[in-house]
Structure 1
Amino acid sequence: MSEAALAKEAAALDATDGLAAKRAEFDLDDGVVYLDGNSLGALPRGVAGRLCEVVGHEWGRLRIRSWEESGWWTAPERIGDRIGGLIGAAPGQVVVGDSTSVNVFKAVVAAIRLADTASRDEVLVDAATFPTDGYIARSAARMTGCRIRAVAAADMAREAGPRTAVALVNHVDYRTGRLHDLPGITAAVRAAGARTVWDVCHSAGALPVHLDADGADFAVGCTYKYLNGGPGAPAFLYVRRALQDRFDSPLPGWNSHADPFAMDPAYAPAGGAVRGRVGTPEILSLLALDAALGVWDGVDLAAVRAKSLALTDFFLRCAAAYVPEGRVASVTPEAHAERGSQISLRYGPGAGEVMAELVRRGVVGDHRRPDVLRFGFTPLYTRFADAERAARVLGEVIGAMEEGR
């Protein structure tokens, strides 16, 4: 298909996009195609003004009174419930705070402590997991006398057995964009008598997630990708309601005490998701995240998913038309049921140079060593015209680089 025909198709798709108006709620430069929201989401326009109010009035004028008068103290649970609505969790099961790594540690250790017998001494880890998940899981296993076994996420269901205490799985593979079977794996691991910890960093805000309905035990996720919470925004922890009374956090901080201001030297855990808290909440970043979540008001996640799949399909078609034949290969599954909201293309040893030149020309994706070009599609603000332009510039860059060799 010709460039003119693809550009015309992109314009027609954008004209009928039910989410198109959401783009105006973000601070974006029309001269740049931003396809790295799977690393850092764009800035929602409402955040800056809200932070000015927090700093100038709540901190600057009310000061210590804001813990009660401005609702600072309950922000981790209140904002957790907002995120819960985006990941299929009923209120009271999500708490926001700390980093993804810290929350992985809490969840994995707590899951091990829930094991019904001492013989459950095995931690299954997604073999292609984001590195920090593996690091944390190995440390948690050493501390609890367990052993780590790395298995492919696709094999997790059949690998769980009588020695398995917990399976730590990525919902979407960060490198390839492969979407794993959360309900199927969860059911199989539970049938084996073990618990699941799901990393939903690359699915929260990108596609519908149904933690309650699918029976997940624990889940963790960051908020600076598709949820647009900003750099270093606090992560979240989901604890299924049925497990909360037995959730034994390895980090029992004063914020998770049943009566934190009693300053009791003996620890007594609070009820509910509050047990997932540790220390003083990160108020500035928490409230920036709270403001950022406003872009999700009234958004249907089914529409987000439909647009994500349409965008990634269209990008692949454009790449096939523009990129010299045989120069790139998609490592992201073609099947919709197995695809997150990104496209990863394998190029070769020069992938880093290609991405650097794309960024210089105003198309921002990222490079995963050694040979993957990664493009994230954020349906709330990515246009079909962006997908067409990105593929066209990619073809130009690869063509020019190979001509020059």
Structure 2
Amino acid sequence: MSQFVNIKKITLEDCKSMDLADPLSSFKSKFHLPEGIVYLDGNSMGAAPKQAFPDIKNVVEEEWANGLIRSWVGADWMSSPVRSGNLLADMLGAKHGEIIVTDTICINLFKLICFALKFNERRKVIVYEACSFPADGYIAQGVSNLLDGYSCRSIPEGEEDYDAYLQDDVAVMVLNQVNYKSAYMRDMKAFTQKARERGVLIIWDLAHSAGAMPVDLNADGVDLAVGCTYKYLNGGPGSPGFVYVNKALHGKSVQPITGWFGHANQFAFEEKYTPSKTLSQFQTGTFSALSYQGLETSLNLWREVDFNLVREKSLKLTDLFIDLMMPVAKKYGLTLITPEDHSVRGSHVSYYREDNGYAIVQALIARGVIGDFRAPGVLRFGFTPLYLSYEDVWQSVEHFKAVLENKEYLQEEHKAFQAVT
């Protein structure tokens, strides 16, 4: 539960004092944050590390411009997927060689579902969460439609008994460690163990947990996972996704997109495809060295970070926001859908409002407080401990009050839905 509620009214001076005592406060200066912006959308796309600008410039102006094709070896572009994967492994409690950075989270999920079905070939059902980000369900449905004899089963939104879906015909389940709308955090270790006892493989989607909290894949016994790197990991817009496969499963199955980067001997140019015996088999085609550089810069910054401090600050930031918002939410019909219980809360806070949710978010953005909206009525705000301050939280709630009290959200320019919400 919150450490602030029912103590006293929190003031701006209190928040400034908390910032002075914050052990992570020095990291904010390592990111580019536009003047006058409170950025509460790092759970959707992270802010840019300042060091990424010269590093990417070097890739463009030196390695590409002058090194030309030689930079695949001379600048070691070829090792980027493995190198970044090993940096992630150190962050996420995996062994080197268990994570590779490649393609997108959707493509990687397709690969892992097929990998799991081949491994559990006597079972023909894929299970996914209806409350998940829709892409997970779309990919699961696509795989089942592609393969004869296979089907999908969804866990309805609001269902609490996930154990009931560990049935004998289920080969694989796709689950989120942290739900993208509510920020509900599932016990990854406990459910993985239950699933293993029933012969079901779990693919964990780490999109809203990697970079936001301690993740220990090996200690939790996780077999398979996917994630993206452009949210809390600050890899840049569209930076590549990652695949985790526990070493116990290496060589036990294959993934279906047999691109030349996954070949055991890529430059032998053999007619027959032979998959690499390492996690490199999950690579497909030629990748963008530009995208990998921004990510690698960020991952090297993360090596300085204590994830226990990240988690501690995440909970303090979200507690502060929830507590300051309590009278605002009550007065203006906003329902908190994020758990107050620390043990099951991720690093974003969401409210539901029946009407004008999108317009409220747009009015906040017009004031420089950037969050996002998820249909049908979810107002979502992400709390990124490396570059968000307690004063930022206080200021964001003051703007929230003004938007609602002044009915700024009723202005016509805030009502028209844009291509990205």
TM-score norm. by structure 1 comes to 0.96
CA distance in 2, matches of 1:249, 1:367: 35
Point out 4+ residue stretches in structure 1 off by more than 6 angstroms. Answer: 1-4, 402-405
Question: What is the CA RMSD across the aligned residues, in angstroms?
Answer: 1.9
* 3-state SS of paired residue (2:172): strand
Structure 2 partner of 1:44: 49
- Please identify, of 307-316 and 212-221, the stretch whose mean Cα deviation from structure 2 is larger: 212-221
Matched, 1:102 2:76: no
User: Quick one: which amino acid aligns to residue 270 of structure 2?
Assistant: D
Amino acid at match of 2:128: V
1:36-61 CA-partner distances (Å, limit 9, x unpaired): 00111001000110011111111111
1:14 aligns with 19
Distance in 2 of aligned mates of 1:330 and 1:254: 48
| Contact 1:319–1:392, Cα closer than 8 Å, also in 2 | no
Correspondent of 2:38 among 14, 33, 39: 33
1:146 counterpart residue number: 150
Shift of 1:156: 2.7
Residues 85-132 of structure 1 deviation map (CA, whole Å, 9 limit, x = unaligned) = 2221111011111111100000011001001x52x1111111211111
Task: Check if 1:346 corresponds to 2:352.
Answer: yes
Alignment of 1:228-243 (within 5 A): 228-243=234-249
Do the aligned residues in 2 keep the contact of 1:186 with 1:216 (CA within 8 Å)? Answer: yes
Whether 2:251 is the aligned partner of 1:245: answer yes
| CA distance in structure 2 between the aligned counterparts of 1:244 and 1:154, rounded to whole angstroms | 33
% same residue: 37
Counterpart-to-counterpart distance in 1, 2:226 and 2:97: 15
Give the distance between the partners of 2:309 and 2:97, measured in 1 at CA: 26
CA distance in 1, matches of 2:352, 2:118: 41
Query: Aligned equivalents of 2:108 and 2:254: distance in 1?
Result: 13
Structure 2 counterpart of 1:363, one-letter code: V
Residue ranges of structure 1 left out of the alignment (5+ in a row): none
> What is the identity, as a one-letter code, of the residue corresponding to 1:222?
C
Shift of the 201–134 alpha-carbon distance from structure 1 to 2, 3 Å rule, reads same
Question: Equivalent residues in 2 for 1:179-328 (5 A)?
Answer: 179-323=185-329, 325=331, 327-328=333-334
Structure 1 residues 11 and 147 mapped into 2: Cα distance closer, same or farther (>3 Å)? same
Unaligned runs of 5+ in 2: 1-5, 412-421
Change (3 A) 1:73 1:404: closer
Q: 1:322 to 1:8 in 2, by over 3 A?
A: farther
Counterpart CA distance in 1 for 2:7 and 2:189 is 41
For the residues of structure 2 that align with 1:109 and 1:318, how far apart are their CA atoms?
46
Give the C-alpha shift of residue 347 in structure 1.
2.2
| C-alpha contact 1:322 1:392 (8 A) present in aligned 2 | no
Pick one of 66, 73, 83 that aligns with 2:78: 73
Write the distance in 2 (CA, Å) between the matches of 1:288 and 1:183: 31
What is residue 179 of structure 2 aligned with on the other side?
173
For 1:391 and 1:3, locate their aligned partners in 2 and report how far apart those are by CA, in whole Å: 17
- What is the identity, as a one-letter code, of the residue corresponding to 1:368? R
Does 1:386 pair with 2:389? no
Cα 1:402/1:102, change in 2 over 3 Å? closer
SS at match of 1:219: strand
Aligned residues, how many?
A: 403
SS in 1 for 2:380: strand
Cα distance in structure 2, aligned partners of 1:100 and 1:403: 34
Q: Residue 137 of structure 1: which of 126, 132, 140 is its match? A: 140
Q: Letter of the 1:146 partner, please give it.
A: Y
Q: Deviations over 1:29-88 (max 9, x none)?
A: 241100000111001000110011111111111111111121111110110111122221
Q: Alpha-carbon deviation of 1:325?
A: 2.6
| Closer/same/farther in 2, CA of residues 247 and 72 from structure 1, 3 Å limit | farther
Instruction: Tell me by how many angstroms 1:263 deviates.
Output: 0.6
Between stretches 121-130 and 103-112, larger displacement belongs to 121-130
